[in-house]
Amino acid sequence: MYEAKRTRSGLRVYEETFDKDSTSRITLTRELREGLGRGELHLVYQPVQNLADNTIVGAEALIRWHHPNHGVLLPEKFISLAEDGGLMSSLTPWLLRETFRQLSNWNRIGFRTKISVNVSATNLYEKEFINDLHRLSKEYSVAPEQIELEISEKAIFSDFDRVLVHLKRIYDSGIK
């Protein structure tokens, strides 16, 4: 299945060489689940700069995993594992809470900006996703317009009409 997804062919005939990959994927997915519980994930913030006047106009929240054996892993090494392994329902709330917490801290010291954060398109389909965003906004005293969600184009075009309805509700709420 993973090989068919990776090659985007829809179908792959089994080969013994796939076992090595599937075993490591299963192991890494289990370790990711455990790492979430142990606090091994963290965010770094990449500044967004206006080149005309060199001011910082925002930041992008980038997730990293401090794996105990492999060191720092970038999202391309584990996000697909989280999506395929059903971990996005745990990962996304953590990611959003950390983002709102950081914005709240920055607001408190007078650095009012916005943060863009990548979310999975599957999050858009969750009933409580928009409500969770608003609850976090109130809990951390962060204005909705300080949050910008980024969703991959591939995800948007996979079910355009359905995604569009959810994106409009989010946009109407003040979140970009």
CA 95, chain centre distance (Å): 7
* Nearest CA-CA partner of 139 in 100, 168, 110, 83: 100
Residue 80, token pair as written in the block: 């697909």
pTM of model > 0.85:
no
> What are the pLDDT digits (tens) for 65-104?
999 999 999 999 999 889 888 898 889 999 999 999 999 9
Supply the pLDDT for residue 46.
96
CA 164, chain centre distance (Å): 19
159 pLDDT higher than 80: no
